[in-house]
Structure 1
């Protein structure tokens, strides 16, 4: 179905090729997972499938890319619309209408489908993705996860032979992600649709993949059976790392397969069952106590109440994960705490001041926030200029912002325009700009979107360092693996209210939706991360 024949692609002005001498064959009805570290060229590979690369990105492409026998050099991308459906990393950027129903119908209108066919497919897609109640909603009023599902739905209605998805579950809560992936798998199995998906949260997709394509970062590509490539891949989910640690063969790719082999490991770990899992530093900062106190916070948009009488206390030196399904009010609460967002009633206290009553500059000095669409904060011409401006505004030592950026996403060119970066690189840059100021309270809305496992590990270290300085850190996230490794405490929201609040292990282990892979595999034991298991086994290995 898809053929890459000796493909080499180099961006204009770049010294090195992103893709080099790539040969790849993806068959009809295959689900192909593309992995690799942030910025190695996954989006470039996906864009080449329908000719967006190089026609709209610039650069030089040598070799041949064919889809269903059609060469992308011979036809513009619009001529591939009936063959290839593409969903990018930023769903809002791809919308062309105002409401959900109109967006689902737009692609079919361009293909001149009959009205009765369009109506039937819209209804099928609304049900397939569980968004029927959103049909009349304005697209810009939806949460990030809801927008993601609509973007996928707008492509599915055209019934393409090839579906290209770039980070399709990055903005979705675990349950919504499972629903979307179930729908995608159904297309593969029942309709023979070929799916190519790039995803940093490999743990969500790996078990469904027929083929794995791994970009090595030097222009090279490895492809083949997922189980074989995962034996030594440098981008692997917790289930694979646990399998390597335990020496399981065959290497499990899913929680179900791992549980079948886990009895012996649970027996080895049982004498060391952790009473209080140390998922993050349990040492409080130099000034223990409340960093932020919120009382009876209410946020509403017209008649819609997004946050309902929420009380929240953030202690200094603590990392709090704010979780909940899409649309539960997490982002609205963060903006209300920062002072920039609407707050109908309630109070917020940080160091004796309410950020909502201060100027924007003064509020940012108390509470820093990185929004869900982090690139909204980028406005200069180069990465270097953004970093320098970040140092200046924060009063930090020159180079401090760049150092943070290199820790999160090494190798980002200083002369590159921020808008030309990958989504993961953009996020890393904004995180660095915000973190260099290190306000007393740091609020992060989905900060791990677009970050690979290595970058998330470095980001976790940065978050812990902030907490170690006595700052309060809140991370609104759907990333259960990040939560397991970074958070001291988890707060769960539903319909604008706090429904759970407690230590990470107590909250996530008891939740089928929010439990990390290690917890599911070793249940009923309360281990959360592979690092915990490795530390517990180390004395046994040493004495063996």
Structure 2
């Protein structure tokens, strides 16, 4: 169904090809997973398969890409629309109507599908993706994950023979992601649809793959059986990393297969002997619970409404210095609404948000002054600061900073250097403050490059550096790992840990439980706008069926969350 024959792609002004001599064949009714580090060319390969490369992106494509016998170099994307359906990374950018039901029908209208058949397909898509309750909702009022499901449904209603999906689960909670992937698997197995899919969260999708294509940073590609390719791939999900560490053959691709092989490893971690014994008492549990610092922000009885939707219901929350707190919950649970209410710019129908021991204005104390040696000083009413919502935007940024789901929303200037300079000026910071923060977060980002030309990780780092120029005591992040590979997530985890070590409070909303397991000290779970769990990350994650990371599921009942926890438990060096 898809044939890629000696394909190379070189973009204008690029020093080297993004793809180099790629050969690939995807059979009808096969799910092919494309993996690789950020910038390796995954989106380029997907774009070549649907005609967007080079027709929309420009650049030089050599070799040949055939989809159902059609050469994509000789056919514009519109000429492939009856065969190929495409879901991009940003669903909102692809919407053309106002409501969910209209969007699901739009593609079929363009293809001339009969009205009666259109209605049937819309109902099927609503049921398949759990969208029935949202059918009349305006698209702009949906959460990021709900928008993602609508974008997938809008493509599925046209019933293409080939689906090209770029990170289709990046904005979905674990349960919704499983439902979407299960739906894709049914399309593959029952209807013979061919799926070409790129995804960074491999732990979600690798078990569904018939073939894996691993792209290298030099543009080359290795294709084959998933277990064989992932055994040596630069990126791999935790279940594969654990299999590598334990020496399992063949490598398991699912939690179920890994649990079958994990008995000896579980016993070794629980009752080590020999050289491992010395490490067992101190390292059998991950270290994710630092001593609580002074409170920096308190919220009490917070309610948020969006029209008839009661998004946040009576939330009480305290953020303390030196702590990384993760906010989990299904799509539409109210996570983003709560973050914006805490930051002060979002609506708040009732309740209070109060800074504690944090001064507003240019004379505010630096968070570093509230570091380890100053913990425990906040808390009394006389140290209570203002409500962020009552501060001017410039003052609020110096106290509580928020990086939204789309970091590019904060970026509007033509170069990285201009963004950093503007951030310094707006925050009243010394010149070079934002640039220094960016270098610490993502070394080597070219100062003269346009922010839109950065990788997802670099763009996130720039947005975070812009916010850190104001030296805020509280840092809020909404889905910060979208579009990041495992290496970029590890770098972000270290950066958040460093911010906490400076005495700041960090709160991040995320669906990425593997990332949360590696960086969060404390975890909250939000459901229907209410906090239903609040405790140490180890306890909350390991005790949850929906939010437990792969290692916790495989090694349960041992209280281990990540491969690094297992490596430490075995007494091995990273």
* TM-score normalized with structure 2 length: 0.90
- Pairing partner for 1:481 from 511, 514, 519: 514
- 1:283–1:468: 8 Å Cα contact kept in structure 2? no
The alpha-carbon distance between structure 1 residues 437 and 33, as it changes in their structure 2 partners (threshold 3 A), is: farther
Between the aligned partners of 1:226 and 1:266, the Cα distance in structure 2 is 25
- Residue by residue over 1:208-233, the C-alpha shift from the partner in whole angstroms, topping out at 9 and shown as x without a partner, is 11111111111111111111111121
SS in 1 for 2:571: helix
Does 1:511 find its partner at 2:536? no
Measure the CA separation in 1 of the matches of 2:225 and 2:437. 36
How does 1:119-518 map onto structure 2 within 5 Å?
119-271=119-271, 272=280, 277-280=285-288, 282-283=290-291, 288-350=293-355, 351=358, 352-394=385-427, 401-402=434-435, 404-405=437-438, 412-518=445-551
**1:390 Cα deviation from its structure 2 partner:** 3.4
Q: Deviations over 1:21-43 (max 9, x none)?
A: 21111111111111111122211
Runs of 5+ unmatched residues, structure 1: none
Match of 2:96 in 1: 96
Asked if structure 1 preserves the Cα contact closer than 8 Å seen for 2:284 and 2:560, the reply is no
TM-aligned CA distance change 1:86 to 1:274, over 3 Å: farther
Output one character per residue of 1:175-217: Cα deviation in whole Å (capped at 9) or x when no partner: 0000000000111111111101111101101111111111111
By how many angstroms is 1:399 displaced? 5.4
Q: Is the 8 A contact 1:126 1:132 kept in 2?
A: yes
Hey, what does 1:5 align to over in structure 2? Answer: 5
Give per-residue Cα distances to partners, 1:345-371, cap 9 Å, x unaligned.
Answer: 111111211100010111111000011
Q: How many angstroms apart in 1 are the aligned matches of 2:73 and 2:426?
A: 47
Partner Cα distance (2:570, 2:284) in 1: 17
Instruction: Measure, in 2, the Cα distance between the counterparts of 1:492 and 1:275.
Output: 27
Spell out, residue by residue over 1:32-89, the C-alpha distance to the aligned partner (whole angstroms, 9 max, x if none): 1111111222111111112111111111111211101101122211010111000000
| Cα displacement (A) at 1:9 | 0.9
Once the two structures are superposed, what CA deviation does each residue of 1:231-282 show, in whole Å capped at 9, x if it has no partner?
1212111111111111111111111111001010111111337799435462
Task: Note closer, same or farther for the CA distance 1:368–1:173 as it changes in structure 2 (3 Å cut).
Answer: same
The answer as to whether partners of 2:286 and 2:560 remain within 8 angstroms in 1 is: no
Q: Could you tell me how far 1:395 is from its partner in structure 2?
A: 5.6
CA contact (8 A) 1:323 1:493 kept: yes
Cα offset, 1:145, TM superposition: 0.2
Matched residue, 2:378: none
Q: Is the 8 A contact 1:274 1:526 kept in 2?
A: no
Moved more, 383-392 or 499-508: 383-392
CA distance in 2, matches of 1:163, 1:410: 36
Residue 407 of structure 1: how far off its partner (Å): 6.0
Aligned residues of 1:212 and 1:224 also touching (Cα < 8 A): yes
- The question of whether the paired residues in 2 share the 8 Å contact of 1:273 and 1:526 is answered with no
The verdict on how the C-alpha distance between 1:83 and 1:409 changes in structure 2, with shifts beyond 3 A counting, is farther
RMSD of the alignment, in Å?
Answer: 1.9
Deviations 1:315-335 (A, max 9, x none): 111111000000001100000
State the shift of 1:416 in Å. 3.3
CA contact (8 A) 2:243 2:258 kept: yes
Aligned in 2, Cα 1:34/1:397: closer, same or farther, shift over 3 Å? Answer: farther
Distance 1:7 1:406, change over 3 A: farther
**Cα distance in 2, alignment partners of residues 507 and 256 from structure 1:** 22
8 Å CA contact retained: 1:408, 1:456: no
Count of paired positions: 538
Contact 1:38 1:409 in 2 (8 A): no
- Once residues 167 and 427 of structure 1 are traced to their aligned partners in structure 2, the CA distance between those partners, rounded to angstroms, is 17
Mean Cα deviation higher: 451-460 or 13-22: 13-22
Distance 1:330 1:432, change over 3 A: same
**Other-structure match for 1:26:** 26
Residue number in structure 1 paired with 2:555: 522
Distance 1:409 1:189 in 2: 42
Structure 2 CA distance, aligned partners of 1:66 and 1:349?
59
Query: Which residue in the other structure is 1:39 paired with?
Result: 39
Deviation at 1:166, TM superposition (A): 0.5
Q: 2:373: which partner in 1?
A: none
* CA drift at 1:402: 4.7
CA contact (8 A) 2:521 2:536 kept: yes
